[in-house]
């Protein structure tokens, strides 16, 4: 991670802290590597934009070969559709309350729009919301593969697809989320195998009702390495891979040199022996972490943030020569990158040499519904 400190040193005096810094060369390598992996295994990439919420990065992913994007909600989809993205999958079991029905109808006019669904009530609600334009909306049935989040039992996926078809919606496939693969290193492969089994069962249930799934979609970054069963899976939906983070490094899903985002923070106080305070608190990093693993780390050292207040980061200093003084700017690598990005209006973009400096908007920041 020396490249992180080198880039930060080159930016000295040109940025305010706290600030999210992207190493664009590392990020582009991550994008290209994932696209190459997918091509090797005959899979489409549909990256989840919730990680970056940035139109510029989304275009880079599409330019590299992504077939479209995955969004987490209608608002994210609207932001990217307005920027010209025309193939969007909202991988979430949407309930079309309030204005969402109208918004979905508008999106379906300008994009090939797919939405997640995992129950019969939602199918009826979506069909009612779409009205005479139901055939514009493609639905992807979500099944549970062991994460115990949203998702129907795989064996009823076909029944849900048939119900959607009867209501005039267009059932195009199946998706799942192997979130339990993030618990530890050994869980990654096991969760991917659970995912493959669930998707295989769901495909059979589609066949039983006479529907052939166009898309069988798998996620996530921690499990994607093992999501290679192209006889079943047609696309992958990684999100965090674009930046990576400490959680993925601990899991073995990336190396530390593949982490493309860090938060720059300044030491603002050092009165407590063997501890300094940084201007990087929970409003910058979120509270992802624990006292055991910390809430972010200084690369190249054993120093981790042991506690966060809203605007304060508590950094105990390990034994040795690492003794940053007040005014020192330090890089903090987050445990989980997704909740960091949404805390900022823009991303500071440079390269590993710190030779350039751009600012990219976090375009979909604040869009939660």
Which pLDDT does position 12 carry in this prediction? 84
On whether both 231 and 343 belong to a single domain, the answer is no
On whether both 231 and 279 belong to a single domain, the answer is no
In a domain, residue 309? The reply is: yes
Cβ atoms of 178 and 223 within 8 Å: the answer is yes
In a domain, residue 206? The reply is: yes
Which pLDDT does position 295 carry in this prediction? 98
pTM exceeds 0.85, yes or no:
yes
Cβ atoms of 260 and 242 within 8 Å: the answer is yes
Which pLDDT does position 106 carry in this prediction? 98
CATH number for the domain that contains residue 65:
3.20.20.10
- Identify which of 26, 13, 62, 14 has the alpha carbon closest to the alpha carbon of residue 262: 26
Q: How far apart are CA 269 and CA 264, in angstroms?
A: 16
Q: Judging by beta carbons within 10 Å of its beta carbon (0-12, 13-18, 19+), is residue 361 exposed, middle or buried? A: middle
Cβ atoms of 4 and 331 within 8 Å: the answer is yes
In a domain, residue 222? The reply is: yes
Q: Which residues are CB-contacts of 106 (< 8 A; sequence separation ≥ 6)?
A: none
Which pLDDT does position 78 carry in this prediction? 98
CA torsion, ordered 130, 134, 140, 146, to nearest 10 deg: 50
On whether both 132 and 205 belong to a single domain, the answer is yes
Which pLDDT does position 245 carry in this prediction? 98
Which pLDDT does position 321 carry in this prediction? 87
On whether both 227 and 298 belong to a single domain, the answer is no
Strand 44-45 and strand 346-350: pairing?
Answer: unpaired
Domain hosting 229: range is: 24-242
Cβ atoms of 59 and 49 within 8 Å: the answer is no
On whether both 33 and 16 belong to a single domain, the answer is no
Listed as own residue / partner, the contacts of 249-257 with beta carbons closer than 8 Å and 24 or more positions apart are 250/185, 250/293, 251/182, 251/184, 251/185, 251/188, 251/222, 252/185, 252/188, 253/188, 253/221, 253/222, 253/224, 253/225, 254/30, 254/221, 256/1, 256/299, 257/1, 257/3, 257/26
On whether both 64 and 109 belong to a single domain, the answer is yes
On whether both 33 and 97 belong to a single domain, the answer is yes
Q: Which residues are CB-contacts of 341 (< 8 A; sequence separation ≥ 6)?
A: 20, 51, 52, 53, 54, 261, 347, 362, 365
Number of domains the chain contains: 2
For 102-127, how does the pLDDT look when each residue is reduced to its tens digit (9 = 90+)?
Answer: 999 999 999 999 999 999 999 999 99
On whether both 123 and 213 belong to a single domain, the answer is yes
Which pLDDT does position 175 carry in this prediction? 98
On whether both 327 and 229 belong to a single domain, the answer is no
- Choosing from 242, 273, 292, the residue where a domain stops is 242
In a domain, residue 83? The reply is: yes
> Whole-angstrom distance between the N-terminal and C-terminal Cα of the chain?
37
On whether both 119 and 189 belong to a single domain, the answer is yes
Which pLDDT does position 330 carry in this prediction? 97
In a domain, residue 297? The reply is: yes
For 294-325, how does the pLDDT look when each residue is reduced to its tens digit (9 = 90+)?
Answer: 999 999 999 999 999 999 999 999 998 899 99
In a domain, residue 70? The reply is: yes
- Identify which of 23, 70, 29 has the alpha carbon closest to the alpha carbon of residue 51: 70
Q: Is the peptide bond before 91 cis (omega within 30 degrees of 0)?
A: no
Q: How far apart are CA 240 and CA 33, in angstroms?
A: 13
Mean pLDDT of each 10-residue bin along the chain, 369 residues long: 87 94 98 98 98 98 98 98 98 97 98 98 98 98 97 98 98 98 96 98 98 97 96 98 98 98 98 97 97 96 97 96 95 98 98 93 97
- Choosing from 207, 242, 277, the residue where a domain stops is 242
In a domain, residue 367? The reply is: no
On whether both 46 and 183 belong to a single domain, the answer is yes
In a domain, residue 137? The reply is: yes
On whether both 205 and 132 belong to a single domain, the answer is yes
Q: Judging by beta carbons within 10 Å of its beta carbon (0-12, 13-18, 19+), is residue 55 exposed, middle or buried? A: buried
CATH number for the domain that contains residue 333:
2.40.37.20
Angle made by CA atoms 237, 240, 244, in degrees to the nearest 5: 145
- Choosing from 186, 219, 242, the residue where a domain stops is 242
């Amino acid at each position: 991670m020396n490249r992180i400190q080198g880039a930060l040193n080159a930016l000295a005096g040109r940025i305010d802290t706290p600030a999210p810094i992207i190493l664009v060369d590392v990020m582009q390598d991550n994008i290209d590597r994932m696209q190459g992996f997918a091509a090797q295994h005959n899979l489409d990439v549909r990256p989840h934009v919730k990680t970056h919420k940035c139109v510029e990065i989304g275009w880079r992913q599409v330019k590299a070969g992504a077939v479209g994007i995955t969004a987490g909600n209608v608002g994210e989809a609207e932001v990217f559709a307005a920027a010209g993205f025309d193939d969007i999958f909202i991988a979430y079991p949407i309930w079309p309350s309030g204005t969402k029905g109208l918004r979905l109808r508008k999106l379906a006019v300008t994009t090939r729009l797919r939405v997640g669904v995992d129950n019969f009530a939602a199918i009826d609600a979506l069909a009612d919301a779409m009205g005479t334009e139901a055939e514009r909306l493609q639905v992807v049935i979500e099944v549970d593969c062991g994460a115990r989040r949203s998702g129907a039992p795989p064996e009823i996926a076909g029944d849900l697809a048939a119900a959607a078809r009867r209501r005039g919606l267009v059932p195009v496939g199946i998706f799942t989320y192997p979130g339990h693969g993030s618990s530890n290193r050994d869980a990654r492969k096991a969760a991917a195998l659970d995912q493959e089994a669930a998707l295989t069962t769901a495909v059979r249930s589609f066949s039983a009702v006479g529907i052939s799934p166009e898309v069988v979609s798998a996620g996530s970054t921690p499990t994607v390495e093992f999501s290679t069963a192209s006889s079943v899976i047609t696309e992958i939906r990684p999100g965090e891979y674009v930046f990576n983070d400490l959680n993925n490094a601990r899991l073995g899903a990336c190396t530390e040199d593949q982490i493309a985002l860090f938060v720059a923070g300044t030491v603002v106080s050092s009165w407590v022996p063997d501890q300094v305070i940084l201007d990087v608190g929970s409003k910058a990093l979120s509270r992802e972490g624990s006292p055991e693993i910390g809430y972010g780390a200084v690369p190249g050292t054993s120093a981790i943030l042991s506690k966060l207040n809203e605007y304060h980061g508590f950094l105990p200093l390990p034994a040795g020569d690492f003794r940053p003084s007040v005014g020192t700017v330090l890089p903090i690598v987050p445990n989980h990158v997704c909740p960091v990005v949404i805390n900022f209006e823009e991303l500071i973009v440079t390269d590993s040499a710190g030779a350039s400096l751009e600012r990219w908007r976090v375009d979909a920041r604040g869009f939660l519904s």
